[in-house]
Amino acid sequence: MDFFDWQDRSRFRTGMWVGLFALGTAECLAELETGGLAVAEMVGGRRVALAGATDAEVRLMNVVEEMAIAAGLPVPVVCVLDRERGINAFAAGWSPDQAVVCVTRGALVQLPREEMQAVVAHEFSHILHGDMRLNTMLLGFLHGILSFGLMGRALLVGDTEDDEGFVPIAHGRFAFLTLVAGVLLTAIGYIGVVVGRLIKSAVSREREYLADAAAVQFTRNPVALARALRRIGGFVHGSRLRHARAEAVSHFLFGRYDADDDILGWFATHPPLVARIRRLAPAFDGTFPPVPLEPGLYDFERPESPLALSPVGLRPSYTSTEPLDPVKFVAGIGAPVREHLDRAARLLDALPRGLREALHDPGRVGAILYALLLSREPGLRSRQLALVAGRADDAVRDEVEAACALVAAQPRAARLAMVHQTLPSILSLPETRLQVLADTVEALATADQSIDLFEYALGHILARAIRSRHEGRARPVQVYGVLGAAREISVLLSALAWAGGGGGEAARASFDSAAARFGREAGRLSFIPAASAGLDDADRALRAAAGFSPDLKRTVVAASLFAVARDGRIDADEAELLRAVSAAMDVPVPLWVEAA
C-alpha cells in the first residue's frame, strides 16, 4: 500500500511541475497569439504607414514589398524600432500571413539600399523556411521554464507590500517548508533558463548561417550582405538593442543584441561577425573601419516628408503566357532568386504613385479590391456598383469608379501582386469594417452567378488572411502522406484540371500528369467528375490541406502546376489560380511571368 501511495505522490509532483511549465508557456504564447506584430510591439516596434512616411521608411517598404512579391509571400507588416540606435532587424510571426519585418532606427538610417535589401532578404529566409514559428515556440518554451523561477521568487520575496516593503510569503508554521520550496523552484527555474538559452543559442547560430546563404541566393549580392555585417562591426552602437526585453527576442535578430562575449561563445545566439563575413567574402582581413554617425540618428521626432515612391516610367508589357519549365518551377518553390526580385521591382515601379498610396491606405483598399472585381459588361457593372452603394454609401461607390481608372491600366500579371500589397492594411481594419469588406467582395464576385479563376483566387486569399487573424497560430500537422489525404488531393487536382479547360479527355490527361508527381502513391488518387470537383470543392480541400506536412504541401503545389498547365503553358488566370493554391498551403511560389 505504501508503494502505491509513493507512486501517487510521485505522479502528483510530476503533474504539478508539468502543469506549472505548461501554464507559463501558455501565458507567453497567448500573449503572442496575434503573430509577429505582438513580438514587434513587445520590444517597442512602431508600425509604418506609407502615408506620412519618411524617405527612408518608404525605401524600406519598397524593399520589403519587392521581396514578398518576388517570393510569392503575403506582404508582411513593416515596423521600426524608433529608439534603437544599433543596426539590427528581425522577422516574426506564426506563419507568413502574420509575418512582420522589423528594423531598428540605426539600420534604417545607416544602411544603403543594397545593404538593406540584403538584410531584408536574410529575414525573408527566416519566413520562407519556418524559422519564425520555431523562434516563437522557443520564446514560449523559455518563458515556461522561467515561470518556475518567478514562482520561487514570489515564495521567497512575496508579492504583496505593506508600509515596510514586501511581505514574504514564508512565515508562520510552514515558513521553513515554504523557503525550501522557494529555493528549489528558483534553482530549477534559473538552471532551466541557462540550459534553455544554450539550446536556443545553438539552434539560432546554425539558422543564421543558413539565412545568410539563402539571402545571397536571393539577391546574388554577397558583397552587400558582407558590407552590412562589416558596417555593424565598425559602428559605435553595433547591433545592440537596449530594450529591457531584448534578450527574450535575441534569437530572432539579424545580429547580436549585446556586445559582450560570453564564455567560449556558448550563449551567443549568432556566429562571430568575422566568421559570417568570411563565408561571404573569404578574403576579408578581419578589420572593421569606423562608421560615422548619420545626421539625425538621435532625433526621435519623425519629420513629415513627401512620399518618395519610385518614379513612373514606361510600363513593361507582360506576356500572357510563358513556356512551362517544370524543373525550374519546382526548384523555385521556397527558393526565389535575383531574377524573381528584378521582375517584382519592375512590376512595382510600373504602378502609379496614386495607386501605390491607395494600396496602403486602410480607408481606400476596399475600393481597390472592388474595382478589381468590376465587370466590363455595362449592365453587370451597374448592378455591382449598386451593391457597393447599398453595402456602404455613394461616396464609396465614387471611390470605386475612380479606382477603376487606376486598376484598368495595369497588366493582368499585376492583379494578385496588388491584392497581396493590400493585406497589411486590410487586416488593420476594425472587425465590423473587415466583415463588410469580405461580404462585399463575395457579393461582387458572385453577382453574375458564377466565379472565374481570378475572383476565386482573390476571395480565397482574402478569406485565408482573415482566418489567420482570427485563428492565430497555424494548425498542427496531421497528415504526412497521400494515404491520409487521398480524397482531398484527388478533389483538388481534379478541380484544377477541369478549370484548365479542354474537355473531359484533356482534364483526365492533366490529372494523370499531376498525379504522377506522387510516384508510387499515385495509384491512391482518383479522377473526380466535374460535378464533384468544382471550385467550391477545391476550396474545402484546400482548407483540409492546412493540416498537411510541409513536404506533402510542396508536392501538392508542384502537382497542381501540371494539373493547371494542360497545354504546357501558364496563362494569367492559371497563374493566379496556382498562386492562390500555393498561398493556401503556405508554400511560396515565386513570381514567374516574364517581362517582354
Q: Which residues are catalytic?
A: 123
Contact indicator for 312, 350 with CB cutoff of 8 Å: yes
- Please choose, from the candidates 411, 221, 183, the residue with its C-alpha nearest in 3D space to the C-alpha of residue 315: 411
Burial class (CB in 10 A: 0-12, 13-18, 19+), 107: buried
Parallel/antiparallel/unpaired status of strands 100-104 and 89-92? antiparallel
- Please choose, from the candidates 123, 109, 122, the residue with its C-alpha nearest in 3D space to the C-alpha of residue 76: 123
Query: Kindly report the CA angle at 494 between 488 and 500, in degrees rounded to 5?
Result: 140
- Please choose, from the candidates 78, 124, 153, the residue with its C-alpha nearest in 3D space to the C-alpha of residue 588: 124
H helix runs in 32-130, sequence order: 36-42, 55-71, 105-110, 113-128
- Please choose, from the candidates 592, 113, 578, 65, the residue with its C-alpha nearest in 3D space to the C-alpha of residue 335: 592
Q: What is the distance between the alpha carbons of residues 74 and 464, in angstroms, rounded to a whole number?
A: 11
Distance in angstroms between the alpha carbons of the first and the last residue of the chain: 84
* Distant-in-sequence, close-in-space partners of 382: CB < 8 Å, separation ≥ 6: none
Q: What is the distance between the alpha carbons of residues 471 and 485, in angstroms, rounded to a whole number?
A: 23
- Please choose, from the candidates 199, 187, 193, 190, the residue with its C-alpha nearest in 3D space to the C-alpha of residue 266: 199
Residue at grid coordinates 517582354: 596
Expressed in percent and rounded to 5, the helix, strand and coil fractions of the chain are 65, 5, 30
Dihedral, 25, 28, 30, 32 alpha carbons, nearest 10: -130
Q: What is the distance between the alpha carbons of residues 245 and 234, in angstroms, rounded to a whole number?
A: 25
Query: Kindly report the CA angle at 488 between 542 and 592, in degrees rounded to 5?
Result: 50
Q: Looking at residue 163, what DSSP letter applies?
A: T
Q: Which residues pair with 79 in a beta bridge?
A: 47, 102
- Please choose, from the candidates 94, 200, 205, the residue with its C-alpha nearest in 3D space to the C-alpha of residue 138: 200
Q: How many CB atoms lie within 10 A of CB 46?
A: 16
Report residue 260 CA to chain centroid gap.
31
- Please choose, from the candidates 138, 81, 113, 126, the residue with its C-alpha nearest in 3D space to the C-alpha of residue 257: 81
Angle between helices 222-234 and 175-219 (to 10 degrees): 140
- Please choose, from the candidates 395, 393, 394, 397, the residue with its C-alpha nearest in 3D space to the C-alpha of residue 384: 397
Q: How many CB atoms lie within 10 A of CB 352?
A: 15
